[in-house]
Amino acid sequence: MYIYDLPYDVNKKLCRLLDNDDDWKELAGVHMKYTAFEVNEIEQSARRLASSPTALLLTRWGQLNHRVEELYILLYHMKHVPAMQSLTPAVDARYQTLLRKLITKNGIGGKDSTAFVDDAKKQKLKTDESSIPLPVFEKGIHVNQAPPTSSNGLNGNSPTDDSTSDLSKTVSSTQDDRANDVKDEIMRNVLTIPMLKYDDLKAATDNWSDANLLGRGGFGQVFKGVWLNSLVAIKRLRDTDARNRELIRELCLNQYRHDNILPLYGYSFGGAEACLVYQFMACGSLEQKLRSKSHYPPLTWSQRYRIAHGVARGLQYLHTMTGTPLIHGDIKPANILLDQCLMPKIGDFGLARKGPYGEERTHLKVSRVHGTRPYLPDEYLRSRCLSPAVDVFSYGVVMVEIASCLPPIDRNRPVPLLSDWIQQQARDGLDFASLEDRLLQGTPHSNPGLCREFVAIGVHCTKYSRGDRPTMLEVYKRLDNLEFPGKHYM
Ligand SMILES: Nc1ncnc2c1ncn2[C@@H]1O[C@H](COP(=O)(O)OP(=O)(O)OP(=O)(O)O)[C@@H](O)[C@H]1O
């Protein structure tokens, strides 16, 4: 039976079940592989039409001639017992073994059918899925992988036939599948980020008033706003393609909760411009602190240490939190935001990439280089090798900037790039203390020892060969072990 042939009563019951707790989002995003935007489109249409989002999803998916049995299998993978039960009258008896299997495996077979269903869903059922054919969908288009499909749109084996287990085994051993697992995990996270109304954000910023403009970046403007009685920074993305790309990456990758990572509160899509809403950082960016000396007193060494230490902490977390590192890809002072206590938070995940996948891999070979030239190492610029060592290199440049306030590129310097110049100074045996920010030199706030350490770390991190650079964990530990007067009073 095709989805569009589902009896009215069955469809209605299924929609009610999947609308509940927004379970339809998991079905759409994780199992049917719709993008976050498509899921949002469905959600918005449902709101506008005061209709069931599940009904809209099934209409859309059903237009691709998907069958009820396929949906049944997806619900099996969601372990959604009540939804499977509602579909049971519409599926062939051999598929109903899936439901029995789900129930008996979890020791709830003895209960009466209406009593167990809610319990079963709540218990987050675990099953052995190796014998279940897994339909693979790409953007809602059915691209069922081998074995070949039969006329019913599924592979020709019975759903409980163990010969089908090859499919999941083969696929799960590939690199792509690991990437898909990550995508699924990310998609689950994306779906939990609140979508906000564009008009509410417009009101929060006083109609995007100039007085609330915090700054401009490559993707658009950033405004200060008051949203739900909280101060927020709202990034209003400009051009369509860029905003889509930026929005997707931010939504997917700014999911890592950590003290030193800028939290994304929500987003808006579908209004005049796409928007990202972040925690407001009262002290702006490190870029502003380092460059706008007429506006600010120079940072003290304790403050510089707090910033360097916090960024190292955030980066080592991104690189080691899961088996696969998250490479930020655009570490620079403009992307390090400072709260009212000058605690740094890494922002702008627009260029972040997950990888390399697998312990045997050391880098990703990317098709295009993105980022900010003075912060990027040679192996990335020339050979497009992206690895956590790229972030380490960028961090090294930032360390030298924090200590010296020298610009990352200066055409009046014999060696314009700070990363190249500092390597040359190291080879020439320069005392790094002489590079201390001029505004601190000779004042009671000067700290030549700490300056030496900061620049030495910068030199180590910006080594030409990525194998010679430390990991962010090593950098963090080195900084953490530094002792200087006032450290414990910060
Ligand atoms: N959460 C925030 N709180 C306070 N100010 C912010 C916040 N986010 C950004 N800003 C300000 O807005 C400016 C522009 O930020 P944005 O991220 O758009 O650009 P960028 O990082 O400078 O450039 P690009 O995105 O092109 O790399 C920042 O330099 C900072 O001053």
Architecture of domain 286-480: Orthogonal Bundle (1.10)
418 C-alpha to ligand 1 centroid (Å)? 23
**How is residue 144 annotated by DSSP?**
P
Q: How far apart are CA 404 and CA 454, in angstroms?
A: 9
Q: Please list the pLDDT of the chain residue by residue as tens digits (490 residues).
A: 889 889 988 999 999 999 987 889 889 988 888 877 788 888 888 888 888 999 999 988 988 878 898 899 899 888 898 999 999 888 888 888 888 888 776 544 333 333 333 444 434 333 333 333 334 333 333 323 333 333 333 333 334 333 333 323 322 334 445 455 545 555 555 566 788 889 999 999 999 999 999 998 877 899 999 998 999 999 998 766 666 666 766 776 666 789 999 998 888 877 888 899 999 999 999 999 998 765 568 999 999 999 999 999 999 999 998 778 899 999 999 999 999 999 999 998 888 888 776 666 677 778 788 889 999 999 999 989 999 999 999 999 999 999 999 999 999 999 999 999 999 999 999 999 999 999 999 999 999 999 999 999 999 999 999 999 999 999 999 999 999 887 776 6
104 C-alpha to ligand 1 centroid (Å)? 54
Give start and end residues of each alpha helix (H) in 205-285.
240-253
Q: Which residue, judged by its Cα, is nearest atom 5 of ligand 1?
A: 284
Q: Is 375 in the pocket of ligand 1 (CB under 6 A)?
A: no
- Give every CB contact of residue 215 below 8 A, 6+ residues apart in sequence: 221, 222, 284, 285, 288
Cis ω for the linkage preceding 408 (within 30 of 0): no
- 208-260 confidence digits (pLDDT tens): 999 999 998 877 899 999 998 999 999 998 766 666 666 766 776 666 789 99
Q: Which amino acid is at 346?
A: I
216 C-alpha to ligand 1 centroid (Å)? 6
- ipTM (interface predicted TM): 0.96
Q: How far apart are CA 421 and CA 198, in angstroms?
A: 47
Give the residue, out of 201, 205, 222, 330, with the most ligand 1 atoms within 8 A of its beta carbon, to mutate for a pocket test.
222
98 C-alpha to ligand 1 centroid (Å)? 51
Length of the chain: 490
Whether this prediction's pTM lies above 0.90 is answered by no
Q: For residue 100, what are its two tokens?
A: 């029995």
Q: Is 278 in the pocket of ligand 1 (CB under 6 A)?
A: yes
Q: In terms of C-beta density within 10 A (0-12 exposed, 13-18 middle, 19 or more buried), how is residue 448 classed?
A: middle
Give the nearest ligand 1 atom to 280 CA: 3
Give the nearest ligand 1 atom to 348 CA: 17
221 C-alpha to ligand 1 centroid (Å)? 8
Q: How far apart are CA 34 and CA 44, in angstroms?
A: 15
Q: Is 288 in the pocket of ligand 1 (CB under 6 A)?
A: yes
Give the nearest ligand 1 atom to 335 CA: 21
Q: Which amino acid is at 286?
A: L
- The answer to whether the annotation marks 235 as part of a ligand binding site is yes
b/e 184-197 (16+ beta carbons within 10 angstroms → b):
eebbeebbebebbe
Q: Which residue, judged by its Cα, is nearest atom 9 of ligand 1?
A: 222
112 C-alpha to ligand 1 centroid (Å)? 57
Q: Which residue, judged by its Cα, is nearest atom 29 of ligand 1?
A: 334
Give the nearest ligand 1 atom to 279 CA: 1
Q: Is 335 in the pocket of ligand 1 (CB under 6 A)?
A: yes
Sorted by where each begins, the domain ranges of the chain are 3-131, 182-279, 286-480
Q: Is 235 in the pocket of ligand 1 (CB under 6 A)?
A: yes
Superfamily of domain 182-279: Phosphorylase Kinase; domain 1 (3.30.200.20)
- The CATH class of 3-131 is mainly alpha
Q: Is 90 in the pocket of ligand 1 (CB under 6 A)?
A: no
Catalytic residue set: 330
